[in-house]
Amino acid sequence: EAGVVQSPRYKIIEKKQPVAFWCNPISGHNTLYWYRQNLGQGPELLIRYENEEAVDDSQLPKDRFSAERLKGVDSTLKIQPAELGDSAVYLCASRQDSGNTIYFGEGSWLTVV
Amino acid sequence: GQQLNQSPQSMFIQEGEDVSMNCTSSSIFNTWLWYKQDPGEGPVLLIALYKAGELTSNGRLTAQFGITRKDSFLNISASIPSDVGIYFCAGQVNFGNEKLTFGTGTRLTIIP
């Protein structure tokens, strides 16, 4: 069974440019998370989806960050415009309704220069 | 955002040694989780704890849910080279959908 798939794996952009990350959760997993992990720290939740509904986006910086999960499967996370402080790893994760375990993808590594 | 305090921040040990690390919080959690993250990868769940005082093992790994619900401990016995990585604790207020609050991580290095 395929795990959580993310793309791109690595992205280097100049500040003020837009960037988008894509996530395909494990098949059948209704809950999808986007986490951000700064260097030397643990991941922090940005947004959580139940199917296509964003049920917790309290920590998403809405002035420049947006996310969508239109059909309740794949999700995209967008940053526009990017700032230097956005350099981090953006992790997508998913969980099955009946399961305990949250499965993480390999992450999308963003460097803003 | 809030991050749990993990100690030590890093460890340098020889192969075969035992390892102990802990995680503390200023608030109560009802679920404690321990993850391992290898370079360039996402975190992978090692052990989940659901009850205060619970002691759970997974091979050479043993984790405990503190009685106060504000701390947890992870021990690794007889370390091997593949144990190298960063270990994160994570707390969850309610089992299931609630977000995970992660610790700051403990980096384990094995000296040849």
Q: Region B60-78: what's the mean pLDDT?
A: 96
**For A16-52, how does the pLDDT look when each residue is reduced to its tens digit (9 = 90+)?**
999 999 999 999 999 999 999 999 899 999 999 999 9
| CB–CB contact B3 A91 (8 Å) | no
**Nearest residue in A to B3, CA atom:** A42
Tell me the percentage of chain B whose pLDDT exceeds 70: 96
Which pLDDT belongs to residue B96? Answer: 60
pLDDT of residue B65: 96
Q: Which long-range contacts (CB under 8 A, 24 or more apart) does A4-8 make?
A: A4/A92, A4/A93, A4/A94, A4/A103, A4/A104, A4/A105, A4/B42, A5/A105, A6/A90, A6/A91, A6/A92, A6/A105, A6/A106, A6/A107, A6/A108, A7/A108, A8/A108
Best of B6, B45, B72, B97 to disrupt the A interface by mutation (most A CBs within 10 Å)? Answer: B97
A95/B97 touch (CB, cutoff 8 Å), yes or no: yes
pLDDT digits (tens, 9 = 90+) for A47-106: 999 999 999 998 999 999 999 998 889 999 999 999 999 999 999 999 987 777 889 999
Provide, as residue numbers in chain B, all residues whose Cβ is less than 8 Å from the Cβ of A49. Answer: none
